[in-house]
Amino acid sequence: MKLLKKYFWFLLVAVFALSLRAPCLRQRPMQADEAVQAFKFGQLLEKNEYRYDPANYHGPALNYFTLIPAWLTGCKSFARLDEAVVRIVPVFFGVLLVLLPLLIVDCIGKRAALFAALLCAVSAAMVFYSRYYIHEMLLVFSSLALIVSGYKFFATRKIFWAAAAGASAGLMYAAKETCIIAFVSMLASFYIVRFLSSRHAHSFFKISPPRRVEPFHFLIAIGTALLISAAFYSSFFRHPSVFLDSFGSFRNYLLRSADDPFNIHAWYYYLQLLFFPKVGGFYLMSESAIILLAVCGCILCLFKKDWTYANKPFIQFLCLYTIFVTIIYSLIPYKTPWCILNFLAGFILLAGFAASEVFDILSKKIGRFAAALLFSVFFICICGQSIALNFKYDADPANPYVYAPTSKEIYLLSEKVEKIASAYPDGHNMFIEVVCSQDHWPIPWYLRKFTNVSYWKQPDHFVKPAPVIIVSSDLEADTLKILSQQSVPGSQNIYVSLFDKKYIELRPAFYIAGLVQKDLYEKIAQPAK
């Protein structure tokens, strides 16, 4: 009962975070990257094996964690998967991320930790990508877990926290190869703060009395990190050599970051997402309020002399780490919007610290009341914007956090093809041909129940005409020409449009058409008797 009373507000914030992340997980169409990850997981689910491919995929940890909800829901095949089963994994780690400040209450103060947890819970970007089946939330959680467990180790010198730090580092590497950015930033920040602390006769962390760091502690941490990462990459030691192959992912990432024009953006791309996102002509304050508070935290870190609760070296470390990660990600030309989470997590902790310090600086009741009122207005605005971006504009290209979003018209595709299959003798074994000049994802996700689907970049003369053909608008004329050449009078069906309108939008400015044999279409078009 005492524990419940002590941590009641943190648990309440966690429940609030879950209430923003868990509902309506099936509502937003699967984005192409999500569908690719789900397909990769489907192979693991059906074959009980994962072979890591450093050329095209990130780490395997996300896929292995997804086995848990799949087993709990009795899902045993890719065809039976749905969006909620896979997306609940980032939801879980998103809620755990909200709870992490609880472990450093002794370092930054209970009020600062609670503010940070609340900001993390309501942040529009944090909520959005907690509902996104990609690796980023797992990476961000494990990165912050490494910082927290590292602090706990230096404060206590307990073997448990050394192992926890190692496990966090191993999980980072098993999640995504970009963890190297966080590792470099942590090491640089650690040694800079250690140097500053030694010059001013302060211990690196507030410990009394300090205990010596034994080499055994580092062996525990490094050994745990290697064990965790090797277990994931080697499919739990069934393919030991794959762990060594995984180090080639760093080279692949560097090459991809230089020659992928679609994902190349200016250095200020992430800053625009944080400070100047705009929807429908209105600028949002969903993250800018957090960043401004974090900047105040950095300023306090430099000039504040009297520290009541927070551990100054830890705040300095956090400030440097967040700045380093922000700079490195901004300088890399290859950019995707979910990468902002890697430094937004640090900004949120700094914002929580700053909000708490403001209350200490304002000693008079009227000043604290004014600050509380201002924070409440900020919170209500951020909460409203978070709900709008995650539930109303979740697939709208105007949403700053969506990236090459799948149109909700994709549901027409699965609905129509399912109806055709119900009238076809072979059912879900019906042959379907997909011809797309661009990336065809996430179409395989929406045709996952069909066992006989072929995918082509160009129409092929030698492919037998399928009962249903999905074709990108730019290849429709060529496809129809080939179909007319292949037709034999009296034996070949005429093709008609699968959709009520000629094209549906797959992604912004990319359209697809559906062709179905006329006699098959007429079977589903006939009214039920």
Give the angle subtended at the CA of 201 by the CAs of 195 and 205, to the nearest 5°.
70
- Residues 144, 222: Cα–Cα separation, whole Å: 17
This prediction has a pTM of 0.90
Q: What letter represents residue 220's amino acid?
A: I
10 Å CB burial of residue 67 (0-12, 13-18, 19+) is middle
- Crossing angle of helices 410-423 and 518-525, in 10° steps, is 90
- Residues 174, 228: Cα–Cα separation, whole Å: 8
Q: Please state, for a pLDDT cut of 90, what percent of the chain lies above it.
A: 46
Q: Is the model more confident about 421 or about 209?
A: 421
Structure tokens at 513: 């058409």
| Band (73; pLDDT cuts 50, 70, 90) | very high
CA-closest candidate to residue 114, choices 208, 9, 30, 41: 9
- Which range, of 85-89, 314-318, 381-385, averages the lowest pLDDT? 381-385
| Band (120; pLDDT cuts 50, 70, 90) | very high
pLDDT tens string 282-330: 556 668 888 888 988 888 877 766 666 667 889 889 999 999 999 999 9
| Band (200; pLDDT cuts 50, 70, 90) | low
pLDDT at 342 over 70: yes
DSSP collapsed to 3 states, 414-450: HHHHHHHHHHCCCHHHCCEEEECCCCCCCHHHHCCCC
pLDDT tens string 35-72: 999 999 998 998 887 777 766 678 899 999 999 999 99
pLDDT at 87 over 90: yes
pLDDT at 181 over 90: yes
pLDDT at 279: 63
Q: Is the model more confident about 160 or about 400?
A: 160
Beta-strand pair 453-456/468-472: unpaired
Q: End-to-end CA distance of the chain: give it in Å, rounded.
A: 64
pLDDT at 209: 44
- Residues 284, 48: Cα–Cα separation, whole Å: 44
pLDDT at 345: 95
H-helix or E-strand containing 497?
Answer: strand 495-497
- The average confidence (pLDDT) of the chain is 85
- Which range, of 137-146, 174-183, 295-304, 449-458, averages the lowest pLDDT? 295-304
Cβ proximity of 479 and 442 under 8 Å: no
pLDDT at 228 over 90: yes
| Band (207; pLDDT cuts 50, 70, 90) | very low
pLDDT at 397 over 70: yes
| Band (212; pLDDT cuts 50, 70, 90) | low
Structure tokens at 329: 């990600």
Three-state secondary structure call for residue 527: coil
pLDDT at 215: 81
pLDDT at 388 over 60: yes
pLDDT at 225: 94
| Spatial CB neighbours of 500, under 8 Å, sequence gap ≥ 6 | none
The domain locations on the chain are: 2-392, 410-525
What mean pLDDT comes out for the span 389-403? 88
What mean pLDDT comes out for the span 476-496? 73
What mean pLDDT comes out for the span 185-190? 94
pLDDT tens string 266-275: 888 998 888 8
pLDDT at 370: 76
pLDDT at 438 over 50: yes
Q: Is the model more confident about 147 or about 487?
A: 147
Numbers of helices and strands, H then E, in the chain: 23, 8
pLDDT at 14: 94
What's the Cα-to-Cα distance from 377 to each of 286, 369, 373, rounded to whole Å? 12, 12, 6
pLDDT at 159 over 70: yes
pLDDT at 453: 93
pLDDT at 391 over 60: yes
What is the length of the chain? Answer: 529
- Residues 167, 120: Cα–Cα separation, whole Å: 23
